[in-house]
Chain A
Amino acid sequence: MNNTTGSQDAGLAIHTEKLNLWYGTFQALFDVDLKIKQGIITSMIGPSGCGKSTFLRSVNRINERLGYVRITGAIDVMGENIYAPGVELVQVRKQIGMVFQRPNPLPISIRENVLFGHRIHNAATKTSKSEADDIVEGALKTVLLWDKVKDRLDTKATGLSLEEQQKLCIARLLPVKPGVLLMDEPCSALDPKGTEAVEELIWELRGQYTILIVTHNMAQARRASEECIFMLMGKVVEHSDTGKMFVTPENKETSDYIEGRYG
């Protein structure tokens, strides 16, 4: 795991080579080679258990918490091997933010949620009130939540609606300036209106962040991503332009899945 993929292509945000992953004796990923471009939205689709969430979780090394996970191959994020010996997990997680299926705001105020990441990464320096205000306002404006919550920043974040909570969970990643945002089915706990709002937000963030989004919702992949990866049984079947994949898929499995023949 000490070798990088060798390519230092500046246009790639995530680059994996021969990535294999086992949960105990069960192999979940098989020789995954992916080149995910910087600054665009890439979606991952595939039936349950195809390894898309596993892949996502190995990109910020959260899988490791389970002691029985074993990985071979290489994952480079922004040109650097995140599994190299000198790599600090704290820095990996700072650079690579993650949004979960179920919104998980912390049980503190909205304001403190947004500032949480900033505070833990700048523990040594004191953040002035006005600086903190700017950070909160900036992040909440980016996620289109500012107008709704600006008058109740000191109320508990857990009192927000699920849609607002999910937006807040995205907002709280932004102050530490991550390069990559990983989203694990970010809309599946939301109602259709909330889904639309969060999708809209994700589309807004395009260009500023590299976004990798796992989804079960084909329509969502089609609407809200520029490139699309189709996985099946732990292998990458197809990776292409979203428009192209949904109109003229190259593989039979892809077209079967997209047309809803299984999954």
Chain B
Amino acid sequence: MFETTSINKKNITQQKLVRIGLGTMTGILILPVALILGTLIYKGAPMISFEFLFTGPTKGMTAGGIFPALLGTVLLVLVALLASVPLGVAAAIYLSEYAPDNWFTRSINLAIINLAGVPSIVHALFGVGAFVIFFGFGTSILAASLTLAIMTLPVVIVATRESLQAVPMSFREACWNMGATRWQTIRRVVLPNAVTGILTGVILEVSRTAGETAPIMFTGAAFFLPLLPQGVLDQTMALSLHLFVVSTQVPNMPEQLPFGVALVLISMVLLMNSLSIALRMYLRGKKKW
């Protein structure tokens, strides 16, 4: 009664094959990530030193460090965040908590999705037209950061809106029924419970912003600058563009230098992503409902 029959033998074989097949696919997926990281660490790690991180490039960029580029990336990201986080969070709160469900709201949502799909080079050209020329910021940190901000705005809006909508409706109803206004409800109950998701979105934005090249190369990032930027209207060097430059544009480049730059850049991004995951796990562990 419990012996295998020929039919279920076939099923069992099939099941094993499917399992192996799917497992292999997943393995292939991991392979490029492992290869990239492995190569970068193997070839780039010897480059990393205090001097590499905290001094400027010398000898036509074939020696010295990457400090101006590192600082530039941090500045670009910070200014971009200052612009996009308040705007994105405010828009998401409006869309999630106030906006009526009508064609206008739906078209705003559609616009946000489309904004996320616009290629970065198009954002770059928009940045040139709008910030560099029309607003007259010139090629500067401000223009580049605003371009980055617009490009990453959808990430902030979508992440914020999703975390707002994850707050149970019953909390809002409880507040409204005690006579709380919408804003009191949002400030005292909805936002404190949504803050994890919002932070995660912001950090993801940071990691994306840090790695972008196209939007900044016409709007504010420079090939090489002898001086550090003195304000947001100055140009700056940036890690991503620096990587492109040292890998392809400079003759007689020591082989390991670009790997070092790439390793620093990818470490920044991975660090941010891990931070975001850790934060999410920590805060999720704390809340229960």
Residues of A within 8 A of B (CB): 60, 62, 65, 67, 89-94, 97-98, 100, 102, 104-108, 116-117, 120-121, 123, 156, 158-159, 169, 172-173, 176
Bound CA span A94–B178, Å: 6
Indicate with 1 or 0, residue by residue over B169-186, a CB within 8 angstroms of chain A CB atoms. Answer: 011011111111100100
A120–B179 CB distance below 8 A: yes
Q: A116-B175, A117-B179, A120-B179 are in contact. List 20 more A-B contacts (CB 8 A).
A: A60-B177, A65-B176, A91-B179, A93-B176, A94-B178, A97-B177, A98-B177, A104-B173, A107-B189, A107-B193, A108-B189, A117-B178, A117-B180, A120-B175, A120-B180, A120-B181, A156-B288, A172-B178, A173-B178, A176-B178
Minimal beta-carbon separation of A136 from chain B (angstroms): 15
What range describes how many residues of B lie at the interface?
A: 10 to 19
Q: Collect the chain B residues with CB atoms within 8 Å of residue A169's CB.
A: 174
A93–B289 CB distance below 8 A: no
Minimal beta-carbon separation of A193 from chain B (angstroms): 23
**Does B284 sit within 8 A of A, measured CB to CB?**
no
B188–A120 CB distance below 8 A: yes
| The one of A62, A65, A107 that contacts B289, using a Cβ cutoff of 8 Å | A107
**Does B9 sit within 8 A of A, measured CB to CB?**
no
Q: Collect the chain A residues with CB atoms within 8 Å of residue B180's CB.
A: 90, 116-117, 120
Bound CA span A2–B114, Å: 46
Bound CA span A158–B193, Å: 13
Q: Collect the chain B residues with CB atoms within 8 Å of residue A120's CB.
A: 175, 178-181, 184, 188
B178–A93 CB distance below 8 A: yes
B171–A107 CB distance below 8 A: yes
**Does B86 sit within 8 A of A, measured CB to CB?**
no
| The one of A104, A117, A123 that contacts B170, using a Cβ cutoff of 8 Å | A104
Bound CA span A176–B180, Å: 12
Bound CA span A106–B184, Å: 13
